[in-house]
Each structure stands twice: as C-alpha cells, then as structure tokens.
Amino acid sequence: MKVMKHKWCWIGLVIFASGTAFAAKKGADKSDSKKDSSAEADKKDDSAKDDSAKDDSAKDDSAKDDTGDEDVTPAPPPKKATKKAKADSAPSKRSSTLNMGVLGSLGASTFTRLGFGLRGGLTLGQTEGLYIGVIGTYFAGTSVSDPRLYSPPNAERTRSLIVVGGEVGYDALAATDFLVRPYLSLGIAYKTDKTCATGVCTDDNGIQGTLAPGLQAIYTMGSIYLGADLRYQIVLNTSDASAAIISLTAGLRI
C-alpha cells in the first residue's frame, strides 16, 4: 500500500515537471515569436523611411534640374514682338532733300565780271529727283573810263547787274556721292549803266527778262556739298549783258 502511494507521488511529480517545462517552452516560443515580429516591423519601418528619403531626394534633384534648365535655356521672346521692334527701329525714308548754299560767279560780259549770291531749292527724292529752286546773284560789273565819250575824254562809266530767278532741273546720280543737275532758270534782271562826265550823269537802267540753261556738278560729303556750275545767262533786249557764267558753290543738303 505504501509502495503504491510512493509510486503515484512520483508519477504526479513527473507530470507536474513535464507540464511546467512545456509551459515554459511555450512561453519562450511566444516571446521569440513576438521579438521576430517586432524586428520585422522595425525592418519594414526602416525600409519605408529609406524609400521616403529616396523619393524626397529624387524630388529635390528634379527641382534642381528644372531650375538649372530654366537658368541655362531662357524662353525666347515672341516672334511678333521682335518683328514689331525691328519695324519700329527701321529709319523712315526721306521723300525730299533741302539744298541751301552760297555761290561765287564770274562772267564774260562787262555787266557780269564778278558776282556772289545765294541758291536754294528742294530735290523731290532722297538722292535723285526733280529739283525746284531759286537763285539770286549780284554782279559788280565794271567801272571804267571810256575815252570814246565826249569831252572830257575820261568820263566814268559804271555797269552792274542783279539777277533773280527760279530754277527747274533734275538731280541724277552720276557716281557714288556725285550728282549732275541739268537745269533751266527763268527770272528777271535789273541792269544799271551809268555814265558821268563834267558833273552830268546819264543812266540807262532797266528791268529785263532772263533765261539761263545750265549744268551743275555736285559732290556730297554727308550733309555738306561742293559744286561747280556753268550756264549761259541771257538778258533779253540787251546787246552786251548776256554772257557765259561759271560759278563755284558750297552748302548743305538735308
């Protein structure tokens, strides 16, 4: 009987020990499982953080690339605005040229020996074109003693001529900066012919019509010009006032 009791006691102890060991092993397995789950969760969080950091870095690089592209390659201006600016900057073509100058003249008659005057006009074109102008010249003429007059034999005779007229011609470009202007002048002349002897003076003054075909050569230097002129001055109803006249001129073309 006692032997049976001892036997059941040992059996109970073995069962209890076995249960305790099983429970301890099960708890250890659950603890390891929880640790593994926690480690995997931490790995997943770290991976997510790394992916997020990579995305942010990619965004920053993309933004930098966009900024760099904008700095290196600026957008070109609109073509319409460029064309308009070119049109505004183009200089407008002149429709006429103003001519103003002075001239010194020398003629072959006793009325036109030495003269000076003014000439001005308008060329209907930037360089070439129809020319319309005016001219005015005073000729000092001569003052001489004429022995052919009556007593006293050395009487004084003075002659002079003032010519004012309008001109019509054409400016033709003969070469670079070199113009040729054939023209015709029509106007009036005031002629003075005064003779004094023995204190008595006689006048033969009068106004006559004039006609003068001519040719002028002009060399331009920017807005300044120099020129030479040859014309035949005809004074109507006179026998000794008409003559060939050569002139030198200088002035502005603007």
Query: Which of 33-42, 228-237, 240-249 shows the lowest per-residue confidence on average (mean pLDDT)?
Result: 33-42
Per-residue pLDDT tens over the stretch 52-77: 555 555 555 554 555 444 455 566 66
Mean pLDDT of 204-223: 95
Domain range summary for the chain, segments of one domain joined by +: 1-90, 97-253
The per-residue pLDDT for 143 is 78
The per-residue pLDDT for 190 is 96
Per-residue pLDDT tens over the stretch 153-192: 567 889 999 999 999 999 999 888 999 999 999 999 999 9
Q: How far apart are CA 112 and CA 93, in angstroms?
A: 41
Q: How far apart are CA 167 and CA 121, in angstroms?
A: 8
Any idea what DSSP says for residue 8?
Answer: H
Q: What percent of the chain has pLDDT over 90?
A: 46
Q: Which residue has the higher pLDDT, 223 or 53?
A: 223
Confidence of residue 152 (pLDDT cuts 50, 70, 90): low
97-107/115-123 β-pairing: antiparallel
Of 167, 147, 146, 150, nearest to 158 by C-alpha is: 146
Per-residue pLDDT tens over the stretch 84-119: 545 455 555 668 999 999 999 999 999 998 999 999
The structure tokens listed for 158 are 């003075």
Q: How far apart are CA 123 and CA 96, in angstroms?
A: 5
Q: Is residue 40 over pLDDT 70?
A: no
Query: How far apart, in Å, are the Cα atoms of 96 and each of 109, 125, 180, 181, 226?
Result: 37, 4, 17, 16, 19
The per-residue pLDDT for 239 is 83
The per-residue pLDDT for 68 is 47
DSSP 71-112: HHSPPPPPHHHHHHHHHHHSPPPPS-EEEEEEEEEEESSTT-
CA dihedral in degrees (245, 240, 165, 117; nearest 10)?
50
Backbone Cα Rg of the chain: 59
Q: Is residue 49 over pLDDT 70?
A: no
Residue 215 near residue 247 (C-beta atoms within 8 A): no
Query: How far apart, in Å, are the Cα atoms of 79 and each of 71, 76, 82, 155?
Result: 21, 8, 5, 86
Sorted by sequence, the CB contacts under 8 Å of residue 118 that are 6+ apart come out as 101, 102, 103, 135, 136
Q: Which residue has the higher pLDDT, 253 or 156?
A: 253
Query: How far apart, in Å, are the Cα atoms of 217 and each of 8, 45, 113, 131, 142?
Result: 154, 99, 22, 13, 29
**SS3 of 170, please?**
strand
Mean pLDDT of 239-245: 92
Confidence of residue 10 (pLDDT cuts 50, 70, 90): low
Q: What percent of the chain has pLDDT over 70?
A: 59
**SS3 of 12, please?**
helix
Sorted by sequence, the CB contacts under 8 Å of residue 214 that are 6+ apart come out as 182, 183, 184, 185, 229, 230, 231, 232
Residues 97-253, CATH architecture: Beta Barrel (2.40)
